[in-house]
Structure 1
């Protein structure tokens, strides 16, 4: 039967029934904003029976003044911290809700709205709100990283004992790495977000904010990513920002530490920390003197090598005036032999090329095979076990400090902010 966007319909597929409002979708599919929870489902038109139902009002949009959420948090123990904590909002899923007309997620919540979602935090700290951006994180740019770092610095300088940054998960590791390299911090800087918006029954925003607040009041004075440690509502993991990666598109425990354990896990109900390795040291509250160096060289690129790739890809960036390149090689960091002349061309032009591995775990090791030795001779520097995301930001930051070619090559493969593991976890 014919249907159009906005119709209220019942879809039958294999004996199961689904009701909802038709929203825009791909040709050949019927896409529904489902009743009872707001989830979106798509069906091949050729495989379903569609029945038009009498019109009903679409689910109401989330009001601007969010009602206190009292449904979560039963059994949680909270002891007032006496700390001053600034919550800096940038948008993302944690600050979003589902648009009832399109079925898409849009950032609309403020920091005050987020606090209302977690009433257990009332009295835990003296919270200050800074609503800086309202962006889905794919729209964050290096200029936003610099502005965010400056706001964080200014809040700490004004007396904040801890910082929470709410951020979209897709590019959180880039923004968090930028903050880590730009800021020497005497207090915790905690990035958190959610995989599912607050209007979803399975939203992870409540637990992530609870754990982030406790971490911001704690003694680990580094830039951390604090998110679900499992698919259940039981604990959050505290990841060093420069060693974490988003590993799943939708799971609530999407973030994992790579080549190291998380610094600790935090119990959702008690706030108790369990440290996971005796080999991981961390900066403690008050150890560092506040400092910011926010300059970045934005004309840097990430290039991914694939079998048969034409080295003219690399030549494009060299000839276009790029100042630094991160090259994702295969295995131990290799590219094919015919890329070596382009690598030498970059070196001749004093453009640092840093090689990482497309493998998730392990380290680069260009001294193992002849191809790797040729890459070394052509001036390539190894990232060792640094992540592509963090070493890309690190390269932008080092070049932004006005350092010369040889100094950048030296420092890019030198441990900073815990970005290289003392013991790689297989």
Structure 2
């Protein structure tokens, strides 16, 4: 990028990084974005910044349609010469949105990185971290990086391989069973596994696929939980399109009497409703085949995965169901194949490797 200022697009979506507190001390999104845009002042001299106030939401109110909207705005501006994108976002669902934008924009290398960031404290707080995180994100967006990442504190995380692990600490994110993709100190230091920028001649960008299925349910198994309580997911006028079944261990599912979830899985599979097994443990890895109850769930049609984070497994399920609908193919088999593939490094390691089960 020679000596010219890096040209960055800063997309604001809301979140604590720009919230204000009312007279009762309750934080909420501001009426307009002007106060937040004033934060860009201290760093504007180092970059050619274009600010895009896309939405103004507490991230708890983010929907899959909002993921699509963020990705569509990035995709539509990919020919406008931006060296990178910074997306400010609330932290509660920041990892979901980062993973979703990665899936929507297609496998790396991207020609320009997309860097998500946010804050743990509001601007009026003595320990406000939003400006520092925004400065870090701009530096990362200017680096030789070609994928969707989260920059938070001094760490850089792959967008499909990160979870929020604290509601109070400034270092609120981590990558399970993985190292950070890079660090930011005097320089931006990237790990060897980080995907570098592509070039248009060799890596023309993939057509964006910004669809994410609705009506995807998450069910957390607990001792004695009866599948009859979730009958409406299968038999209502608008049955669900997919289910994340969060198991108690590495994929075991009860088959006893009124808590027979194995039979429920079989019924869902017969209706082409994918049921993906995940775990309540950090990292979500399932290895259901090691126990009889887990093997019974797989034989009934349940789909395991090899260590997706909790945000990413939901995003990947929604994205793959939408893709199956778009291609007019059976959802269960399509989702099973997609879950085995490491498109973006979401299963750990480098992108585009595959598991032995694929």
Band of TM-score, shorter chain: 0.7 to 0.9
Given that 2:85 and 2:114 are in contact with CA atoms closer than 8 Å, whether structure 1 keeps it comes out as: yes
Change (3 A) 1:154 1:345: same
Q: Corresponding residue for 1:151?
A: 73
CA distance in 2 between counterparts of 1:137 and 1:244 reads 16
User: Pairwise mapping of residues 9-20 of structure 1 onto structure 2 (< 5 A)?
Assistant: none
1:206 matched to which residue of 2?
A: 131
Partner of 1:412: 339
C-alpha separation in 1, matches of 2:139 and 2:349: 27
- Cα deviation, 1:335-386, whole Å, max 9, x if unaligned, reads 2122100011111111111111111147211111111110110011112100
| 8 A Cα contact 1:219 1:285, kept in partner | no
Contact (CA 8 Å) 2:145, 2:194: kept in 1 or not? no
**Secondary structure class of the residue paired with 1:157:** coil
List runs of 5+ in structure 1 lacking aligned partners. 1-78, 229-235
Q: Is 1:293 aligned with 2:184?
A: no
User: Is the Cα contact below 8 Å between 1:112 and 1:129 reproduced in 2?
Assistant: no
Asked if 1:252 is matched to 2:174, the reply is no
Query: Which one of 120, 125, 139 corresponds to residue 61 of structure 2?
Result: 139
Decide which structure has greater strand share.
Answer: 1
Aligned-residue Cα RMSD (Å) equals 2.0
Residue 262 in 1 paired to residue 180 in 2? yes
1:376 to 298, 323, 344: 298
Aligned runs of 1:176-215 on 2, under 5 Å? 176-184=98-106, 185-215=110-140
1:130 aligns with 2:48: no
Determine helix, strand or coil for the equivalent of 2:261. Answer: helix
SS of residue in 2 equivalent to 1:94: helix
Shift of 1:82: 2.2
Q: What residue number does 1:166 align with?
A: 88
CA distance in structure 1 between the aligned counterparts of 2:231 and 2:296, rounded to whole angstroms: 18
Q: What's the CA shift string for 1:25-83, capped at 9, x where partnerless?
A: xxxxxxxxxxxxxxxxxxxxxxxxxxxxxxxxxxxxxxxxxxxxxxxxxxxxxx97622
Higher relative contact order (CA 8 A, sep 6+): 2
Which deviates further from its counterpart, 161-170 or 355-364? 355-364
Pick the structure with greater CA Rg.
Answer: 1
Within the alignment, does 1:358 sit opposite 2:274 as a pair?
no
**Do the aligned partners of 1:356 and 1:384 also contact (CA within 8 Å) in 2?**
no
Give the number of aligned pairs.
332
Secondary structure of the structure 1 residue equivalent to 2:272: coil
Distance change in 2, residues 1:111/1:161 (3 Å): farther
Please report the TM-score for the alignment, with normalisation by the length of structure 2: 0.87
Report deviation, 1:113.
3.9
Normalising by structure 1, report the TM-score.
Answer: 0.74
Give the whole-Å Cα distance in 2 for the aligned partners of 1:395 and 1:362. Answer: 14
CA, structure 1 residues 115+370, in 2 after alignment: closer, same or farther (shift >3 Å)? same
Which SS does the other structure have where 2:13 is aligned? strand
